């Protein structure tokens, strides 16, 4: 009997280990699948229908055709008794503006959204991109996440305030813009130049750019965007392809720099906010200064490194009769002087006979928005009311950006905020096939945004 004891114990232990592994894999798979879809029954409410109608208006940019979307939004605002103005920067390139006046001046809240969406072909979509059809508990369609879903949340909040009989304490402005997906030239940039009255008295902006994190149906982090890298785009000219290749090699060390440029105070807070949620990286993010001092910066994931660095992107070299060209994009730290960065670029490529031929885009400097404001406190309060004791922190965008980059240099505090829960798999559809929005989460987003805007506008 004794001789069988050890094999029996080994077999039992092995069986328990296999059972534990099976249970672990089963639970893990269930958690992963729960991120993709939980097809719970949903009710199609008026705001869902409104979103479907808006998504069905094809405002792909190019060519834009935002005027149709602007008129759609304006009509809903007019029905609530508020004047809405459709402003065209060019034929078909419409923006929509409306303002509810409050008692105070200089404390206006701007609800900013863009009407245009990136183009979408039918190939690869589970449902047509501009049909806004329901599949299980989601609405499929281009713009549901970027950013017509957010726009409808803002619109519903604006209309809720309009329906109140008493005058609010503070102005609330609704602004839907053209051309965000192509730099904002026909939208926010044009409006700042030609209609500065729209931005009169604006203290705060709510825009896209926030990043929410979810796990197994539970919201785990509300990231409020406080800023992004500033972008400079230039086209380089070389006498030959070989010369341009040499210039590109000279720029390569700046594609993924090894050392940090500078740690902005807001970036330090951002990384600290994320630390508790990053099991592998948290110990390095908690105190970024100590991580650098200990020589462990190299242990950070690339995304966390880049938030402290000036980054260079270089596109494919093209040849023509005059030699060669190459598009270069500089993702600069928010407070960098773009002209000094261009001067650095020119000096770096000059030894190879390469020059900057044109500058197609230049933004910055722009300070990051502070988190110690009454509006940020209100956002956190409403997030806790809606989702419980969820962490609310900051977010700094690394290689993406939005129209807030044109407003922060004017001293306006801008926050990027996703008012509804979004999971990882949905975020991967932005600008790609099967962009979709969970109906139940969207409905909660309307509620969240309405509470937030009405409270800001009316509380003394």
The whole-chain average pLDDT of the chain stands at 92
Local confidence band at 360 (pLDDT 50, 70, 90 cut-offs): very high
pLDDT in tens, 82-131: 999 999 999 999 999 999 999 999 999 999 999 999 999 889 999 999 99
At residue 34, does pLDDT exceed 80? no
Q: What is the mean pLDDT of residues 399-416?
A: 95
Q: In angstroms, rounded to a whole number, what is the distance separating the alpha carbons of residues 362 and 339?
A: 9
Classify domain 230-362 by CATH number. Answer: 3.30.70.360
Give the homologous superfamily in CATH for domain 46-208+418-458. Answer: Zn peptidases (3.40.630.10)
pTM for the structure as a whole: 0.89
Domain residue extents for the chain: 46-208+418-458, 230-362
- C-alpha distances in Å from residue 327, one per residue of 185, 236, 312, 324, 361: 19, 6, 11, 11, 11
Average pLDDT over residues 136-163: 97
Q: Is the pLDDT of residue 24 over 50?
A: no
Would the pLDDT of 3 be above 80?
no
In angstroms, rounded to a whole number, what is the distance separating the alpha carbons of residues 223 and 99?
28
pLDDT of 26 strictly over 70? no
Please state, in angstroms and rounded to a whole number, the distance separating the CA atoms of residues 445 and 396: 22
66 and 88 in contact (C-beta within 8 Å)? no
For a pLDDT cut of 70, what percent of the chain falls above it? Answer: 91
**Tens digit of each residue's pLDDT (9 = 90 or more) over 279-328:** 899 999 999 999 999 999 999 999 999 999 999 999 999 999 999 999 99
Q: State the pairing for strand pair 108-114/202-207.
A: parallel
The pLDDT, as a whole number, for residue 37 is 46
β-strand partners of 206? 111, 415
Q: Which of 351, 60, 360 is nearest to 180 (CA)?
A: 60
Task: Give the pLDDT confidence score for residue 64 in this predicted structure.
Answer: 93
φ and ψ of 290, to 5 deg: -70, -40
């Amino acid at each position: 009997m004794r001789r069988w004891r050890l094999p029996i114990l080994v077999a039992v232990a092995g069986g328990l280990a296999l059972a534990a592994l099976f249970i672990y894999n089963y639970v893990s798979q269930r958690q992963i699948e729960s991120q993709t879809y939980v097809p719970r029954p949903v009710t199609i409410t008026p705001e869902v229908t409104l979103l479907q109608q808006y998504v069905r208006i094809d405002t792909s940019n190019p060519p834009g055709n935002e005027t149709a979307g602007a008129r759609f939004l304006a009509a809903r605002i007019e029905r609530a008794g508020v004047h809405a103005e459709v402003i065209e920067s060019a034929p078909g390139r419409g923006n929509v503006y409306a303002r509810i006046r409050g008692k105070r001046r200089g404390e206006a809240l701007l609800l900013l959204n863009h009407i245009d969406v990136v183009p979408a072909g039918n190939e690869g979509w589970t449902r047509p991109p501009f049909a806004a059809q329901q599949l299980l508990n989601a609405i499929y369609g281009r713009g549901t996440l970027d950013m017509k879903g957010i726009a409808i949340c803002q619109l519903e909040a604006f209309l809720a305030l309009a329906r109140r009989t008493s005058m609010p304490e503070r102005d609330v402005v609704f602004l839907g813009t053209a051309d965000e997906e192509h730099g904002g030239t026909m939208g926010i940039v044009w409006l700042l130049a030609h209609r500065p009255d729209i931005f009169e008295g604006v203290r705060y902006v709510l825009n896209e750019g926030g990043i929410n994190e979810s796990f197994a149906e539970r919201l785990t982090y509300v990231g409020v965007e406080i800023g992004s890298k500033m972008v400079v785009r230039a086209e380089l000219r070389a006498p030959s392809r070989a010369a341009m290749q040499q210039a590109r090699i000279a720029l390569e060390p700046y594609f993924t720099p090894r050392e940090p440029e500078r740690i902005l105070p807001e970036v330090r807070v951002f990384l600290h906010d994320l630390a508790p949620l990053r099991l592998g990286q948290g110990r390095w993010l908690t105190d970024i200064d100590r991580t650098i001092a200990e020589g462990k910066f190299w242990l950070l994931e690339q995304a966390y490194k880049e938030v402290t660095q000036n980054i260079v992107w270089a596109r494919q070299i093209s040849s023509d009769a005059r030699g060669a060209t190459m598009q270069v994009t500089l993702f600069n730290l928010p407070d960098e002087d773009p002209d000094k960065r261009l001067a650095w670029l020119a000096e770096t490529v000059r030894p190879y006979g390469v020059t900057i031929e044109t500058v197609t885009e230049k933004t910055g400097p722009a300070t990051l928005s502070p988190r110690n404001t009454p509006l940020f406190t209100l956002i956190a309060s409403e997030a806790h009311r809606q989702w419980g004791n969820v962490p609310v922190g900051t977010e700094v965008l690394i290689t993406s950006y939005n129209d807030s980059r044109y407003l922060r240099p004017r001293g306006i505090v801008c926050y990027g905020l996703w008012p509804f829960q979004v999971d990882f798999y949905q975020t991967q559809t932005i600008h790609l096939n099967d962009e979709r929005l969970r109906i139940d989460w969207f409905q909660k987003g309307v509620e969240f945004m309405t509470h937030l805007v009405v409270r800001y506008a009316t509380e003394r």
